[in-house]
Every structure is written in C-alpha cells, then in structure tokens.
Structure 1
C-alpha cells in the first residue's frame, strides 16, 4: 500500500490549479490498477449523464451496475444505531481493496468496489476502532486534510449519516472525481453567524462554511463540527459535502 504523510506544504486550497498533485496521481494509479485487476464488482460504466432543465441544474447519471450489483445496504433504523461486528464492516476488507495508508495503519483509503464515479474510494479513519457512522472531530479533520492534498477542481468528498443514505454503519467518507459543474460551487448564500452561511435557495436547506472565511484548518473544523455535532445529537439525518467553490456561473474550469 502507498504510505502518505501530510504536511502543511502539501495543503492545496487554491482554485483550479492545472498541475495534478502527487496525491491525485497516486490515487488514480492505484484505483485504475485495482479495476484492471478485477477487484471491483463491476467495471465503472456510466451509460448516460444529463443536466436537468431548471434553475437547480441537477445532474442525473445512469449506472445500471451499481443499482443491481452493489452489496445490499445494511438496515439502518436509528441515528444512534450501534456498530454491529456481525454485519459487513470495513475491518473485513481484503488487502487488495486497501490502496493507501495515511500516517498510520488505522487511517486508510480503500476502493469502493461498487463505484459510482471515477476513482470512487473510501476514507476510513480509525478503522480498527469499529466506530459507527457518526462524524467525529478527528474524522472531520482527516477528511479536510485529505481534501487539501488534491489540486483537482473535480475532487469531491461526501458523508452520509445514518438514516441519510448511509449503507454501512462503520465510519467512512466517500471521495471521487466528478467532472461536472455543480450549482453548489457558485450558489448565493445568506450570512448567518461567524463564518457560517445558509443555503436558502435550494431544495435541501443547509449550512455552508468557506475555508476562505476562517483563519486556519483547526478553525474550519471547529465551526463545521459544531454544526454536525448538533445535528447528530438532535437526531437530524444529514449529509456533508466538500467541494471547491467557484466565483460565478460563467467561470470555466481551467485544466
């Protein structure tokens, strides 16, 4: 497996850098190799993609294999559902699915064997602690840290809480490249408190924190975790999405 150590000099938060980072290169190399070696349940084949008409510009994709050949999701009935070692969990992954170690053997990146996009993988923080699918401050920091290693405008990370499309009750984040413009990259936001802004003119209401509005990574994580922890304690199912912003709808990707 590839071993990576994070340092401040690796951090990339600038927009639309043309040069691919070392992390991007290694992730793609390892992911493509795993696909070539037949580790996935299927070879990624998105038959069609379409931007829907309307002001939200939603993207829909046809990925028949993921619908029929992915592992059956775990039955999630509660935001406080405990980790169950008898269910599928990420301690049961084969070594061929594990493609990167991050600083230590307990924080790894593994391929998602039922991919929905290019280089679709999983960040598994503190994997051997067998934590349920509830964001910890540590896992949030690792997700932001990992995101900063990529210089790609197309790199995305996402977290689905219990009762919000999580299919495995074992702490994990999704990461992948999505080569499409998204409304969330340039949508208007309303001020709320401190660096926190509100996503109002969107079907799914939400909070937004821009890295440019905070002092450093610790500050960013503290504000984000304050919101996420409240949602978990209030048993409000939620999703977290990390992407680079754009200045306007007319700005083009530069790559």
Structure 2
C-alpha cells in the first residue's frame, strides 16, 4: 500500500487551498490549515434504507455507486501501481473454489513493513510511513455519520478545523476492483488495533454498500497488516469467497442474540458471528473478541461479509512459525502472506509460474500451516467465550448503574 506521495514527494496540488506544507497531504498542515475541501459521504446511523437483503445483485447503493465511480476516476488518472482490470484471474477446480489473481511484481512496489511481527500491539510511530503522508488525490471521500439521518454525498465539503475525519482512500496496490482503505479518525494517528467505535464504523461501511460482494477486512499486526496506522480494507469481488460457502457448527447464542459458530471442513479454523438485535450488538461482540486476542498477543484477521451480517474471525500463527523456521523456502519464495483475503480464499500471486501451477491442494496446505492447531484453537475458543461472557456481565452492571 505504498503511497505515491510518500518520502516527501510533491503531490498534486489540485484543490489544496494553497496552504499547508505544499505536498497536499492528509496531515493537519494541509487537511485542517490548508483550506482543504474533500468530498463527503454521510451515512444514516439507522438501518433505514440500507436494504439488508442477502440477494446477490449488482451494486446500486448511493455509497457503492459513488465509491466505484471515484475509484475508476483514480484508475484512469494513473494513481495505481498496476491496472487490476488487466490482471488474469481464475477459479481453481476443487471443493473450495479458491480464487487466484496474478499481480506480477506486486511486492516490489509495496512499502516494506517497518515494525516487528512478534507483537500485536505496538505504539504508533509518526516517523514511519502512515496515512497522513499520502496525497489528497488518493482520497475518495470522507465517511461520516449524517446529521439528519439521511444518506447524502457532497462533492466539495470544507474540512473544519476541529475535525478528525474518517477517510476512504484508494489502495494503490489493489488486488481487486474498488480496493480501498477505511482510515478511522485519521488525524488521531491510532495504531493498528481494534476498538469498538472504529469496528462499528467498518460494519456501517459494509452495511452502507448494500451488496454482499463488497467485503471489509482487517489484519492485525503479526497477521500481515503492513502499516501500523489503524485501517480496514475493502473491495468488490463478484464471486462468493470460499470461506462464505464453508459449513459451520453452532457453538452458542449470547444473550444479545448473537450466534457464534465455528467453521467446518475449511483449512483455516475460525469463528463465525451472526445475528443480534442490531448492528451495534453484533459489532460489540466481535470487537470484544478482537480486543481479547490483541491484548493476549494473538495475531488475527477479520472478514466482514454479507453487508455486515456475517463476520469471520481467524486467529493465526503463520508469523510465529516463520520466525521458528518452520516455513519451507519454497513457500517463502512465493511471497504470499496470509492476510484476510488469502484466509477468505482470494489469493494474489506475484509470479506467473505460481499462478499457472496453483492448485487447491497446495493452497489448502498453505492455509493449514497458517491455522491454529485443533487443540490450540479449542483452547483459544474457550478463552474467547469466557471473555465475551465477562464483557456481557460488565455491560449489564454498567447499564444497571446508569438506570
């Protein structure tokens, strides 16, 4: 996700307002003090008009229509490192139907990871690359709650001096059409860690798209997030992800109505969350599980699917095995890092040979290496359920005290 405006390069000054540092960046100097005007999409906090249908259909929401239109404009302007529309893609034969895309040399253009992979929680370091250093031309629009409970889009909206905007920007190294980044409260410079408010924002983004083919993903540090600045990824892929087709086994239903299941007959062990009386209920449960994992230094990935109605949580251990020398040189040479898209079954391969030779068996073996063992997963699952029960009791007590 290397930005074209990194390293002090001068960005496109179009619409910069003439102030700031001259790079037209997303730091306070240009965003707040440079007279910046960025497009604004305001979403309704309620589910009204969001159309939470799971029917497979083409995008038609105001949000997704606008996102794809502006993303296409950035593609035509040449802001991406490669043209994803020209990349070869295929579905592999087999039980899972893994999806592979050939993006030759993608890792050569991505910014190298600038932090250790052995700690899930690390402090934000402003000296290293972060999203305040990208150019405003890479921004599609701000994503904020509507003041009148109606979704709307404004092409030119001044950024107020007191603002700390949520930003949707292009991923300059896309692996699918419409590949974007959601950066919550960008000027707060939060490290890559889940909190309840930010995860709910990602859930609302998924709901606002009103399309099951638009997924939102999250990678923790140690699970192949490449930048330690809080962000989610999202894109459109008009195929079902293999993990979305995998069978599940019910574990429990929480008091909030959220159902927790586990994946069956899938090479990566994971939990599936659905239901609840509201989007907020479901979001609170998953964010609590994520917070537990990151507080216990367990790397993980999250996939928000089906307009925010089905969420997959994957604890993983690939970085740990790699550090222990348990990953073969053959696998390392393929340069496939198991982030959320790979765990879901969508693989970006960088070498034509690997693309030609890809098979369901080889990808299953790779994902099995990423997964926690059955014993370790069962133990972790128990800890997560205990943590969720503890959080539920605490929330009940706090509500009782307020009442």
> Is TM more than 0.5 here?
yes
Inter-partner Cα distance in structure 1 for 2:209 and 2:244: 17
**Contact 1:98–1:109 (8 Å) recurs in 2:** yes
Bigger CA drift: 154-163 or 97-106? 97-106
Equivalent of 1:54 in 89, 94, 108 = 94
Decide whether the 8 Å contact of 2:64 with 2:209 is kept in 1: yes
The answer as to whether partners of 1:121 and 1:174 remain within 8 angstroms in 2 is yes
Alignment partner of 1:31: what SS?
helix
Q: Work out whether 1:241 is the aligned partner of 2:303.
A: yes
Contact conserved, 1:90 with 1:127, CA < 8 A, in 2?
A: yes
CA distances 1:37-90 after superposition (whole Å, capped 9, x unpaired): 122223225532222333222222111142332222333332122111111001
Q: 1:137 aligns with which of 181, 196, 201?
A: 196
What's 1:228 paired with? 290
Structure of higher CA gyration radius: 2
1:252 maps to none
Match for residue 44 of structure 1?
Answer: 84
TM-score, normalization: structure 1?
0.89
Q: Residue 52 of structure 2: which of 10, 13, 16 is its match?
A: 13
Aligned match of 1:35: 75
Partner of 1:253: none
**2:219 is matched with which residue?**
160
CA distance, structure 2, for counterparts of residue 218 and residue 239 of structure 1 = 20
SS in 2 for 1:118: coil
Whole-angstrom CA distance in 2 between matches of 1:76 and 1:46: 34
Q: Cα offset for 1:231?
A: 1.0
3-state SS of the aligned residue for 1:139?
Answer: helix
Corresponding residue for residue 187 of structure 1: 246
- Equivalent residue of 1:201, what SS? coil
Aligned length: 244
Equivalent position of 1:3 in the other structure: 40
| Structure with the largest fraction of helix | 2
Q: What is the alpha-carbon distance in structure 2 between the residues aligned to residue 201 and residue 83 of structure 1?
A: 38
Q: For residues 294 and 108 of structure 2, what CA distance do their matches in structure 1 show?
A: 31
Q: Give the TM-score normalised by structure 2.
A: 0.57
In structure 2, distance between residues paired with 1:181 and 1:172: 24
Query: Contact 1:10/1:149 (CA < 8 Å) preserved in 2?
Result: no
Task: Report if the CA contact (8 A) 1:11-1:145 is conserved.
Answer: no
Residue pair 2:59, 2:209 contacting (<8 A) in 1 also = no
In the alignment, which of 108, 126, 137 is matched to residue 68 of structure 1? Answer: 108
Tell me: higher relative CO, structure 1 or 2? Use CA pairs within 8 A at least 6 residues apart: 1
Relative distance call for 1:182 and 1:19 in structure 2 (3 A) is: closer
Who is 1:251 aligned against? none
Structure 1 segments unaligned to the other structure (5+ residues): 247-255
Mapped pair 1:149 → 2:208: yes
The whole-number CA distance in structure 1 between the counterparts of 2:59 and 2:168 is 22
Secondary structure of residue in 1 paired with 2:203: helix
Tell me the distance in 2 between the aligned counterparts of 1:197 and 1:138.
Answer: 24
Shift of 1:113: 1.0
